[in-house]
């Protein structure tokens, strides 16, 4: 009897669950056509609602702002946006100028690197490799909004990592302060750091520059050049925005950075071939929890970091830089000295430093230009492009550099690295070149896992570069 009652109870429980399932299923089945109806009709209803609200009446000839887009193909693709409407009054003109015009250039940058290494001692981890050093897409241009302005956007890949390198608006002819720049751009520190990677004489910047210079940051920058453009002064407040690609590895909440330059002597006109350049930079940062960190590769991006202080744990650091350059026709000699003072977790102030001396000589006689508004040397423009048909061999450049970076002080033994390197560059055209570098790095006073890790690294590397 008990067994029969138990079976009847189980049957009733199962039947109840089944009826609940049918009920919920039927409810969902009823919802399906309703959902489909909503999916099919919502877009139409939205359009009808817009039309009833007068949305379509906005797209009339009376409301149209007549813009024309013109494209021009030269060494790259240039664009021009022109508002060709009639004059709209003094106030409108004061905002956008009477030209009501925006111009710009679309471009791309590809650097393909290959490197081979010979390691000695405790220096390890450098593998022979071929890699895309940089691939970037960019646009730079001019416009007017209350004052003349330039803008730039650049993003891309480096070492399989996405970077947003530039995204700024730079207002010029600003009363009292000369110019104001907002967004992501290179902070004003170090002559070599500000130069374009497409024009530097050797494949990578000197070791001290990559160790101490801040690189691309998010910030506000004020300043400019004096009327004669023989001196510049820029200063700003910055914050970290990207992981360091090849720059100061410190993690900071904010930094004050400033740089001043002076063109001491220039002969041969505004594009003179003899120049003396002097400059100084300063940086003060308030660090995050892990504190300040400096590190550097052996001036070869495919090699690992060979010297590294590790996170110091302090909350502030100050960096001072001195720079100089002397140009005599195709010969350019430049040098920088950088000194850093950083606190560690124990409250001690540690001192690190570095310097380099670099020379480059154009074998075919070209002369590097000089950016007077920003205070640094610019890349070469060959007199004749490389061409077998015209028997023109482009422009050839020889370069050499010695650098020394010391990241050891007190209890921190991040290492001392000295590098000798030389290179030969072939400029196929203004935007294409082939580079070949050889170098030797000597690493001393370095500890890894508490053990001495001194050693040497010999490297051979090359780059094929295309700028569009």
pLDDT digits (tens, 9 = 90+) for 193-238: 999 999 999 999 999 999 999 989 999 999 999 988 899 999 999 9
Residue 447's pLDDT band (boundaries 50, 70, 90)?
Answer: confident
Q: What pLDDT was estimated at residue 170?
A: 95
Residue 367 has pLDDT above 80, yes or no: yes
Residue 62's pLDDT band (boundaries 50, 70, 90)?
Answer: low
**Torsions phi, psi of 176, nearest 5?**
75, -35
Q: What is the pTM of this model?
A: 0.82
217 and 263 Cβ atoms separated by less than 8 Å: no
What fold does the segment set 108-467 form as a domain?
Answer: Porin (2.40.160)
Residue 97 has pLDDT above 60, yes or no: yes
| Total H helices, total E strands in the chain | 5, 25
Q: What pLDDT was estimated at residue 449?
A: 62
Residues across the chain: 468
Q: What pLDDT was estimated at residue 391?
A: 87
> What's the number of CA atoms in the CB half-sphere (13 Å) around residue 233?
5
Convert the pLDDT of each residue in 265-298 to its tens digit. 778 754 458 999 999 999 999 988 777 899 999 9
Q: Quick one: which of 316, 243, 304 has its CA closest to 448?
A: 304
Q: What pLDDT was estimated at residue 318?
A: 96
Residue 87 has pLDDT above 90, yes or no: no
Residue 39 has pLDDT above 70, yes or no: no
**Strand 395-409 relative to strand 295-296: parallel, antiparallel, unpaired?**
unpaired
d(CA 462, CA 426): 11
Q: What pLDDT was estimated at residue 12?
A: 47
Every domain of the chain and the residues it spans = 108-467
d(CA 390, CA 410): 61
408 and 415 Cβ atoms separated by less than 8 Å: yes
Task: Quote the mean pLDDT of the chain.
Answer: 84
């Amino acid at each position: 009897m008990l067994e029969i009652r138990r079976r009847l109870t189980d049957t009733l429980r199962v039947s109840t669950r089944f009826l609940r399932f049918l009920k919920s299923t039927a409810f969902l089945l009823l919802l399906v056509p309703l959902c489909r109806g909503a999916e099919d009709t919502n877009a139409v209803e939205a359009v009808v609602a817009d039309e009833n609200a007068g949305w379509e009446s906005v797209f009339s000839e009376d409301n149209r702002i007549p813009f024309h887009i013109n494209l021009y193909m030269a060494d790259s693709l240039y664009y021009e946006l022109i508002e060709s409407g009639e004059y709209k009054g003094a106030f409108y003109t004061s905002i956008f100028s009477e030209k009501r015009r925006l111009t710009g250039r679309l471009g791309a940058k590809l650097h393909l690197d290959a490197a081979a290494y010979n390691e000695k001692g405790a220096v390890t981890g450098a593998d022979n490799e071929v890699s895309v050093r940089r691939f970037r897409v960019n646009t730079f241009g001019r416009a007017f909004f209350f004052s003349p302005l330039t803008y730039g956007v650049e993003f891309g890949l480096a070492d399989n990592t996405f970077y947003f390198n530039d995204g700024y608006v730079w207002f010029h002819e600003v009363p009292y302060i000369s110019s104001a720049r907002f967004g992501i751009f290179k902070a004003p520190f170090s002559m070599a750091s500000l130069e374009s990677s497409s024009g530097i004489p050797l494949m990578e910047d000197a070791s001290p520059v990559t160790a101490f210079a801040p690189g691309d940051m998010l910030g506000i920058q004020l300043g400019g050049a004096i009327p004669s453009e023989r001196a510049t002064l820029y200063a700003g407040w910055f914050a970290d925005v990207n992981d360091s690609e090849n720059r100061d590895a410190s993690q900071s909440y904010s930094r004050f950075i400033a740089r001043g330059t002076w063109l001491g002597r220039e002969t041969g006109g505004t594009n003179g071939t003899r120049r003396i350049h002097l400059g100084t930079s300063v940086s003060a940062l308030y660090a995050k929890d892990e504190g300040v960190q400096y590190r550097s590769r052996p001036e070869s991006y495919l090699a690992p970091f060979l010297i590294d202080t590790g996170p110091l744990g302090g909350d502030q650091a100050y960096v001072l830089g001195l720079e100089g350059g002397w140009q005599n026709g195709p010969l350019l000699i430049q040098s920088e000295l950088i000194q850093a003072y950083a606190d560690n977790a124990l409250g001690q102030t540690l001192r690190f430093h570095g310097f380099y001396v670099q020379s480059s000589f154009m074998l075919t006689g070209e002369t590097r230009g000089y950016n007077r508004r920003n205070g640094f040397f610019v890349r070469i423009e060959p007199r004749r492009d490389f061409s077998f048909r015209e028997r023109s061999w482009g422009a050839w450049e020889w370069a050499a550099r010695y650098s020394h970076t010391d990241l050891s002080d007190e209890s921190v033994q991040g290492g001392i690295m000295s590098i000798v390197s030389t290179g030969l560059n072939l400029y196929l055209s203004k935007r294409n070149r082939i580079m070949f570098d050889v170098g030797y790095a000597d690493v001393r006073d370095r500890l890894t896992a508490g053990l001495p890790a001194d050693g040497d690294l010999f490297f051979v590397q090359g780059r094929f570069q295309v700028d569009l």
